[in-house]
Structure 1
Amino acid sequence: MSSSSTYTLYTAGTPNGWKVSILMEELGLDYKLQPVNIFKGEQKEDWFMKINPNARIPALVDHEAGNVRVFESGAIMWYLAVKHGKFFPKEAREQAETMSWLMFQMGGLGPMQGQASHFLRFAPEKGKDWIANDDYSIADMATFPWVLSSAVAGLSLEGKPNLQKWIERCLARPATSRGLDVPEPNKAKGLKNDPAAADKMFAEMNVSIK
């Protein structure tokens, strides 16, 4: 990241924010980070709503393209993946599969975290390394922060070895791990998908999730 960057990313430490920062790190993009304090309501301030009228993070400004704004996390991921020609397949059939899983995350897993337990029974194939196709894609990046944060919703991934292996494969990618630490170090990494550990973390923060 630098002071005269190609992009400005407006974000906060949430799964929707992390999935975009993961992609930007995986792409090796030059971007300026602008944290948005959602607990203080900064996303509803006039300056931010000029970038995203829906008043939600993340949002992106592409300075290289004439200060084009892009909002909604899935739209940002699609925009960047297509623009830079990575993590989005070229074949129509594989594009459809990737977009279907990306939209599943946007419309299913994200809004209703309770579906996470169902999510990892989705694939008829056993032992598949990545969600949509044979390669890591924006479908994995969009879903990963939510599954990693499942303990926050009180969900345990115990007894789901294929899911645990997928999480480890994602975490093993240096750029993905860096993306999780935007805009601050990611506490979800240390929860190990353990709801009790999440309860302890929030108790130490004096925050109730019940």
Structure 2
Amino acid sequence: MSQPDIHLYTAATMNGYKPVLFLEEAGIPYDLTFIDFATKEQKAPAYLELNPNGRIPTIVDRSNDDFAVFESGAILWYLAEKYGLFLPNDPKLRSETLQWLMFQMGGVGPMMGQAMYFQRIAAPNGQDSPFAIKRYVDETRRLFEVLDARLHGREYLVGDQITVADFATYPWARAYPWAKVSVDGLDHLQAWFDRIDARPAVQRALKIPKSVPAFWGDADAETFLKENAGRFAADVPRA
């Protein structure tokens, strides 16, 4: 049996779910290597040859001379162009898709990531920073308000079909409970969550490589919170 074209290296993080969402929605065969942060597999020399930044996700396209692609937004764009899916053909809509993809990469992801870090890793390890927490939670809420305005009268972020911009933004924004950011009053954003939640392929994707209910507010996060904080304790300077 021939191997799938796409080999995905990923883990159960917001960025890590992005290519899984694309591949599951597209119904494209792929195989997967789970990257274990606990043993720092993302820093192994063989992996760094594929992804010099030592992060996830990464794909290798066997059908294109084992071409490696890292950075989650770049992976989504590569897959969209390779398969002709989830990317509008109209030049203006295509540009809009890229704009909203960059909005996630440059705004939603970094701001939410910091909100999560200071609340879920730094604070439990003795580095409580109310100013930093407020700064990143407030900025994330502002970005959510931008998304809410964009989604007024729209099913998805661009055009009338789901695109890579939605795949990029959804796993981050949907993790608002983990970032402790309120979505109260953001009815259009919440309706978008509901629409994407209802897609069977999305629900499959959020269990690959493993399910983390605490991200989405579907389970008591206490046990996972302790495990997560402990995993990254060495990265937090002691007071």
Same fold (TM over 0.5): yes
Q: Closer, same or farther in 2 for the Cα pair 1:5/1:158, shift >3 Å?
A: same
Alpha-carbon RMSD: 2.3
Q: Closer, same or farther in 2 for the Cα pair 1:151/1:4, shift >3 Å?
A: same
* Alignment pair present for 1:180 and 2:179: no
Which has the larger share of helix? 2
In structure 1, the partner of 2:64 is 65
* Alignment pair present for 1:92 and 2:87: no
In structure 2, the partner of 1:118 is 142
SS of residue paired to 1:116 = helix
SS of residue paired to 2:209 = coil
Between the aligned partners of 1:172 and 1:79, the Cα distance in structure 2 is: 26
SS of residue paired to 2:68 = strand
Q: How far does residue 186 in structure 1 lie from its aligned partner after superposition?
A: 3.2
Q: Closer, same or farther in 2 for the Cα pair 1:60/1:203, shift >3 Å?
A: closer
Between the aligned partners of 2:195 and 2:104, the Cα distance in structure 1 is: 19
Q: Closer, same or farther in 2 for the Cα pair 1:66/1:191, shift >3 Å?
A: same
SS of residue paired to 2:76 = helix
* Alignment pair present for 1:168 and 2:167: no
- Name the amino acid aligned to 1:134: D
* Alignment pair present for 1:157 and 2:168: no
Q: Closer, same or farther in 2 for the Cα pair 1:3/1:178, shift >3 Å?
A: farther
Structure having the higher Rg = 2
Q: How far does residue 158 in structure 1 lie from its aligned partner after superposition?
A: 2.5
Between the aligned partners of 1:37 and 1:3, the Cα distance in structure 2 is: 27
In structure 2, the partner of 1:133 is 159
- Name the amino acid aligned to 1:34: T
Q: Closer, same or farther in 2 for the Cα pair 1:201/1:93, shift >3 Å?
A: farther
Between the aligned partners of 1:60 and 1:206, the Cα distance in structure 2 is: 25
In structure 1, the partner of 2:107 is 108
Q: How far does residue 166 in structure 1 lie from its aligned partner after superposition?
A: 0.7
Deviations 1:38-90 (A, max 9, x none): 23211011011011111110000011122111111011000001111110000
- Name the amino acid aligned to 1:129: E
Between the aligned partners of 2:228 and 2:97, the Cα distance in structure 1 is: 39
In structure 2, the partner of 1:49 is 48
Identity of aligned residues (%): 39
Between the aligned partners of 1:20 and 1:164, the Cα distance in structure 2 is: 23
- Name the amino acid aligned to 2:23: M
- Name the amino acid aligned to 2:204: R
Deviations 1:101-130 (A, max 9, x none): 101111111111133312232235623211
- Name the amino acid aligned to 2:172: W
Q: How far does residue 133 in structure 1 lie from its aligned partner after superposition?
A: 2.2
SS of residue paired to 1:81 = helix
Q: Closer, same or farther in 2 for the Cα pair 1:93/1:140, shift >3 Å?
A: same
Q: How far does residue 203 in structure 1 lie from its aligned partner after superposition?
A: 4.7
- Name the amino acid aligned to 2:144: L
Between the aligned partners of 1:19 and 1:176, the Cα distance in structure 2 is: 10
Q: Closer, same or farther in 2 for the Cα pair 1:41/1:3, shift >3 Å?
A: farther
Between the aligned partners of 2:150 and 2:203, the Cα distance in structure 1 is: 28
Kindly tell me the number of residue pairs found equivalent between the two proteins: 205
SS of residue paired to 1:96 = helix
